[in-house]
Amino acid sequence: MAKADQINLKPHFKKDTDRLPCDGEVGDLFVFSPLDEGERDPSKQGLASLWFCTKSAGPDGLNAIWARVQFDGITTCAVRPPLPPQNHPDLKLG
């Protein structure tokens, strides 16, 4: 059990759907797994992915737009997490 507060997003498994929702709202987070619930993940680093809704579904029948959150590092509880990369461009006013 984690000792700090955390958000627990339940994944939507393959048996639930093999697509992201059409009716997302801006800011929604969606955890997607191509595995069935309870199925052991055979991959080396995990197949689950996190998606962020960048554009809501429209009343005109247009579907929501989702962007995958790309992670820049992985770790386990046995290893100290790496520091975030410091190679982003400097922010400028305007």
- DSSP string for residues in 16-50: T-SS--TT--TT-EEEE-SSPTT----SSS---EE
Closest CA to 21 of 57, 48, 46, 45: 57
Q: Is residue 17 scored above 90 in pLDDT?
A: no
Contacts of 26 (CB under 8 A, 6+ apart): 53, 54, 55, 56
pLDDT reported for residue 65: 94
pLDDT tens digits along 39-80:
999 998 888 899 999 999 998 889 999 999 988 888 888 988
Domain spans, the chain:
8-72
Q: Of 85 and 35, which is predicted with more confidence?
A: 35
